[in-house]
Amino acid sequence: MIDLFRGAVAAAVAVTAVAAMAGTALAAYPEPGLVRGDIGVHDPTMIRTADGTYYTYSTHNGLEARSSTNRIDFAGAGAALPNGASWARAYSGDARELWAPDVSYQGGRYLMYHSASSFGSNNSAIGLAISDTGRPGSWRDRGRVITSSSRNDYNAIDPQLTVDAEGRWWLAFGSWWTGIKMIRIDPATGNRHSDRTVRSLASRTRTDLGIEAPHIVRHGDFYYLFTSWDLCCRGSASTYRIMVGRSRSITGPYTDRGGRALTGGGGTEVLATHGSRVIGPGGQSVLRDGDQDLLVYHYYDRADGGRHKLGVNHLGFDSAGWPYVW
């Protein structure tokens, strides 16, 4: 049951891999894998806890939670922070209006970085919550990690924690403005490191072009930086797409398949609007589930009035080490 959706997408694997290895744009990406039930999410992150239960956490309402025992059938499961976080009011006007969570398991506990802001503003903050179990309602708010304001050229939203090969902790974040940034995190506290450097990882060539939702994974000799480009949250008019670049160092420089720097507008497309249903896939994260990688994202379903939905696909790497979905 857990891999029931493999059959629905396996036929696309060969075509996808060949096109990816050739460096060509894909005219038709595979459909999302089979998920059903309560799947109306934005900016999902997914974990699998010790008892085998899958949880997705997503934007809004205290970080909405959904659970599944088989990674296919999802049901509402409350929220990570049902009462929100009091510090968020200064950024979103509502303690429960929290965005874009990122959950990972580090040192025997779950860490959830998340953000508060409002559309079009960089009066924003990234916060941290901690849980021993990863279950909804078990999270404890630990306050803000980094903030931004109109005095900054970056936006403190869309956080994601990565631990590098040397055991150092890094938080990637950012949206629009001058693009994707990175800071060091103190493993002892989960808060900002004494190294206060704000590093630049990726940007667009014009400030009116969107780039956000960074997610970094390590595969082989490279770190891969996934981002969402263009416009989210417009239903059937959304233009989100998932892009990637890679680097041998977690701090960059990241380049795309053609060798163009991500700080100079480079990026290789991984997933975009396609077929009769899928519009604007983005807000992505990657889950390592056993021996497989899953790309977890949201999209808008043209066949269902443009409703936002959970998308899950397998993520593979071709012979040149570039990711593709299947």
Contacts of 151 (CB under 8 A, 6+ apart): none
Q: Count other Cβ atoms within 10 Å, centred on residue 253.
A: 16
The CA-to-CA distance between both ends of the chain, in Å, stands at 18
Q: Which residue is catalytic, options 64, 97, 102, 212?
A: 212
Residue whose structure tokens are 């696309």: 12
Tell me whether residue 31 is one of the annotated catalytic residues.
no
| Beta carbons of 176 and 230 less than 8 angstroms apart | no
Are β-strands 109-116 and 124-131 bridged in parallel, bridged antiparallel, or unpaired?
Answer: antiparallel
Tell me whether residue 212 is one of the annotated catalytic residues.
yes
Amino acid at 14: A
* Long-range CB contacts (within 8 A, 24+) of 233-237: 233/42, 233/119, 234/280, 235/279, 235/300, 235/305, 235/306, 235/307, 235/308, 236/279, 236/300, 236/302, 236/305, 236/306
The residues assigned a catalytic role are: 43, 212
